[in-house]
Amino acid sequence: MTLLLNTVSDLGERLQELHARTRETPLFNPVFQLGLDVSRALEGGVMDLDAVERLVEELECSSLKARARRLERLVGPVAPAANRAALQERLGKDDFEAFWAEWETPRLHAVFTAHPTFLLTPAQTDAVAAAASSGSEIGREVCASGEQRPSVTLDYEHAQAMQAIAHAQDARRDIVREAMLHAAGCWPDQWKGLRPLPFRFATWVGYDMDGRTDIKWYTSIRFRLAEKADRLARYADELAAIDPAHGLIGTLNAACEHAARSAADFGGDLTSPKALSEAANRLTADDPAKLTSLAAIIAQLEGEAQAAEDTGKAASLLTLAAAMRADGLGMAHVHFRVNAKQLHNAIRTHLHENPELDLASKGAMATLRKMLKEVSPRRTNFASLAIESSTATRQFLAMAQILGHIDADTPIRMLIAECEQPSTILSALYFARLFGIEDKVDVSPLFETESALEHGGRFLEALCAEAQYRDYARLRGRVCIQTGFSDAGRFVGQIPASLAIERLQGRLAQAMERHGLTDVAALIFNTHGESMGRGAHPSGFADRLAWPMSAWARSRFARVGVALEPEVSFQGGDGYLAFANPDLARATLTRIITDSPESSPENDDPFYTRTDISLDFYRAIRAHQRRHLRSATYSRAVTAFGLGLLNSTGSRVSRRQSDLSADRDMNLRQIRAIPHNAILQQLGYPVNVISGIGSAADGNYEEVAALLAESERGQQLLRLARASNALASIKTVAAHGELFNSAYWASRPYRGTEPHLSAACEVLAEYLTKDDRTGVYRRLASRLRVDALKLHRLLDHFPPEEQSLALQDTRRMIGAAQALRLALMQHMFLKAVSVPVFSRANDISREDVLEMVFSLRVDDALAQLRRAFPTHFPSPSDFAMDAPADYPDGSIEGYVQIARDYINPIERAYALMLRLSVAIANQFGAHG
């Protein structure tokens, strides 16, 4: 019987039929069988790659629509009128002091980061944003347009960040103006004294040096100057809209042009001393157009607002002044980031008496205390930057030049990754004081590894005990820390990471109280992204805001009287979707206002009082995740070919370098956190989100279920687990392993079903007898299945969730995409082993090429095949020879037939595979 699999509906119906067979044969794998059905049709000529591409386009369109629905559900309502009404409902009318306190303190600091998550093409991004904000249809032309995926360079990421921030600024402007007009109506004698600051925006795109060496110091200077020019132009435009004849418009435009010229200067090659000197001298020279502070302009605008009789004009002037106060001379605040090891290397050059000093020792702390007391600020210039070889020192020097010559008012964050000892912070303070910028730099340790989260409480206690650090915190008015969800999710698991992070937050509150730092704020930056695997809660904005900083954690600070400044990231293309157009940006900021959790000193959540249950539950999940993340089976499963399932989606590489022979033993630390999360999505089971919950409840289901049911935090955890479980498929994980099953390939043409594949299947069967991947995936699937049984047993203690038609459709779409991709992988394997044998050339053998294909290093394999089988040779007509020749006759065409029948189909199948990966990620709601 010939199956008709011409549409995605056909694939879905067939998948449902196959799922029914699991009742008869529990080990039957419907996803793999559907992949085999498609593969037989493809290899038998019933289908061709054109037909497969039509199915891929249909799945792409469906996934983009699903992504738009998810975005609308997350930030909705999106209509401007609805959000104006929501804001008006939220604004108070009775207490001016309460209104003042609420609007002059940021509800949220939003950081626009850019780890590799730029999955969608610009046209797809626009289509999803339009569909989510206006309900417009996503036409098939968006999926089938053939739009070239842009090269995701650092400049591309920066441009995308600036566009998202611009939309956020416009939305904030409208919100602030509406709040000011509301205040004018309620308190006509007091409202002009308001200095609203509901949101601060920041970015590290172009300033993050952790894990990369491709950003030159002058790249960061160029970006900061370009951002200054952009922001000044926007200020001028906003002022012109208020008063077209205002005298400050010329001042702002002149300063904009000055910054733009300097940005162009720093956009060139500044490796020569002459070129750098010319660019630097033009920037640092006195110039009437040069503007390094907005203080005088803000004062003038606020003074004019006080004198204005027109309420609308006064509100607009105060709104513009508020934006200047929030953003300074840039599109947003900036975050520099270095690794603790880079900072350790830098400080050693200043430990003249003992450069080999153990920086974790008490002696190092004593030495650094003495250095901090004795250090005197040193003048620096751009030559200092050019000469400096230490990455960390260079970052401080760059900050000094930015504060000295670009924006003197706006503080800069210095994030320190893998910071696990207080001496690292004192080292950073030393450089800040050495270069005279201590009063404008917020040094922030990052906690995201298992060790850092486990020992972070002691770290914070020791840090707050340092008198010089306390003096510095008071100088800055805040204590800053950063907690990371990506690496924490990779090595600890998302749920234990979330619980460890909130515990660390509570320890910070304790340390600040114990050492008398209740007079400063606590700024806590949580660097989660948009997916469950990166620490974002999928249920809605209320959960999204409360999950990284729970009501319990907030209560710890409220109890000791410490003002809290929460900060989160909107990460790359996924996070920027929430700001992809003005309506979405307004909806997102409105949801933050309406859905932000309150900070109350009281919290009676039983999750934190019944620690006899909750602490054991947390430790058991963490132990289960640790067993996965430290097991050779899990590591091999993730790294066996997983990176080949992913598109390139960022300027920072997804994997560190390794040769072909090292791939089999690749460690999880050789791939970055977001690609790790993305691979789990593509394999079909988000292990680091869901795994371990069931096993942690084993033997104590009733008590654990009762605790989760009574607890607000427990309910959040449960919603996360259910959302993850609704998308998970262990059968899909197992299906990937069967591609490498020698017995499958040996049996496939058995009984003459596919005689034309006999030779290729025989080669595959023989080659894969030594391959370990089938066993690896079977072991992993078995472990996941046992844990999933226990999870389902736990979930049985709660009222069942209604399975919506949309969710059922999502599961079918993911299953269809997975099966289609399995068929394309089989197509590539069959084509690869059918390529005629070629001789070893340039140290690459046929076996190497096959292993590249099996590891989905397809681009590498294609490059080698094209070297072995060129389609074009030099022609006699290319040469101007005087002597005649009859040989060759010019008719040689190269290996055109081999390219047509084998190499080109592999390339096309792989391109279709990557498009299916995009569709799967969209159904999950984010990349990675």
CB distance 761 to 749 below 8 Å: yes
Per-position DSSP letters for 839-887, written without gaps between them: --BTTB-HHHHHHHHHTT-HHHHHHHHHHHS-S----GGGS--SS---S
Residue 835 has a pLDDT of: 93
Tell me the chain's radius of gyration from C-alpha atoms.
Answer: 30
Residue 843 has a pLDDT of: 65
Query: pTM for the full model?
Result: 0.95
Rounded to the nearest 10 degrees, the angle between the axes of helix 712-727 and helix 494-514 is 150
Residue 888's CB is within 10 A of a number of other CB atoms, namely: 11
- Distances in Å between the alpha carbon of 197 and those of 142, 452, 549, 590, 879? 39, 33, 21, 14, 72
Average pLDDT of the residues in 773-801? 96
Give the type of residue at 773. R
CB distance 490 to 528 below 8 Å: no
pLDDT of residue 762 exceeding 60: yes
CB distance 240 to 249 below 8 Å: yes
Where is pLDDT greater, at 738 or 487? Answer: 738
Give the model confidence (pLDDT) of 321-365 as tens digits: 999 999 999 999 999 999 999 999 999 999 877 888 888 888 899
pLDDT of residue 833 exceeding 70: yes
CA atoms of 736 and 507, how far apart (whole Å)? 44
Per-position DSSP letters for 505-559, written without gaps between them: HHHHHHHHHHTT-TTSEEEEEE---SSGGGT--TT-HHHHHHTTS-HHHHHHHHH
Per-position DSSP letters for 751-789, written without gaps between them: GGSSGGGHHHHHHHHHHGGG--HHHHHHHHHHHHHHHHH
CA atoms of 200 and 480, how far apart (whole Å)? 15
Give the model confidence (pLDDT) of 37-71 as tens digits: 999 999 999 999 999 999 999 999 999 999 999 99
Query: Could you tell me which residues come within 8 angstroms of residue 778 by beta carbon, excluding any fewer than 6 positions away?
Result: 734, 737
Residue 845 has a pLDDT of: 84
Q: Which of 3, 2, 29, 36 is nearest to 761 (CA)?
A: 36
CA atoms of 293 and 296, how far apart (whole Å)? 7
Give the model confidence (pLDDT) of 695-716 as tens digits: 999 999 999 999 999 999 999 9
Give the model confidence (pLDDT) of 838-882 as tens digits: 765 556 788 999 999 999 999 999 999 998 888 877 777 778 888
Residue 752 has a pLDDT of: 84
CA atoms of 663 and 79, how far apart (whole Å)? 50
**What percentage of the chain reaches a pLDDT higher than 70?**
96
pLDDT of residue 450 exceeding 90: no
Count of all residues that appear for the chain in the document: 928
Query: Could you tell me which residues come within 8 angstroms of residue 191 by beta carbon, excluding any fewer than 6 positions away?
Result: 180, 183, 184
Pick from 88-102, 264-278, 349-363, 858-872: least confident = 349-363
CA atoms of 9 and 104, how far apart (whole Å)? 54
Confidence of residue 658 (pLDDT cuts 50, 70, 90): very low
Residue 657 has a pLDDT of: 41
The two beta strands, 333-339 and 412-417, are: parallel
CA atoms within 13 A of residue 413's CA, in its CB half-sphere: 30
CA atoms of 175 and 489, how far apart (whole Å)? 35
pLDDT of residue 823 exceeding 60: yes
Residue 684 has a pLDDT of: 97
CA atoms of 599 and 602, how far apart (whole Å)? 9
Q: Which of 316, 347, 532 is nearest to 429 (CA)?
A: 347
Pick from 459-463, 489-493, 897-901: least confident = 489-493
pLDDT of residue 486 exceeding 90: no
Residues 670-691 as b/e (b if ≥16 CB within 10 A, e otherwise) read: bbbbbbbbbbbbbbbbbbbbbb
Query: Could you tell me which residues come within 8 angstroms of residue 628 by beta carbon, excluding any fewer than 6 positions away?
Result: 493, 634, 687, 688, 691, 692, 783
pLDDT of residue 150 exceeding 90: no
Residue 679 has a pLDDT of: 95
Residue 750 has a pLDDT of: 86
Residues facing 200 on adjacent strands: 109
CB distance 379 to 440 below 8 Å: no
Residue 424's CB is within 10 A of a number of other CB atoms, namely: 26
Name the 3-class secondary structure at 614: helix
pLDDT of residue 5 exceeding 60: yes
- What's the whole-number average pLDDT of the chain? 93
With left for phi above 0 and alpha for psi between -120 and 50, is residue 692 left, alpha or beta?
left
CA atoms of 682 and 678, how far apart (whole Å)? 6
Token pair for 20: 């029914």
Average pLDDT of the residues in 366-390? 95
Give the type of residue at 393. T
CA atoms of 511 and 505, how far apart (whole Å)? 10
CA atoms of 432 and 399, how far apart (whole Å)? 9
Residue 846 has a pLDDT of: 87
Residue 491 has a pLDDT of: 78
What is the DSSP secondary structure assignment for residue 214, as one 8-state letter? -
Average pLDDT of the residues in 270-295? 96
Give the model confidence (pLDDT) of 576-606 as tens digits: 999 999 999 999 999 999 999 988 898 999 9
Name the 3-class secondary structure at 643: helix
- Distances in Å between the alpha carbon of 681 and those of 359, 534, 685? 40, 12, 6
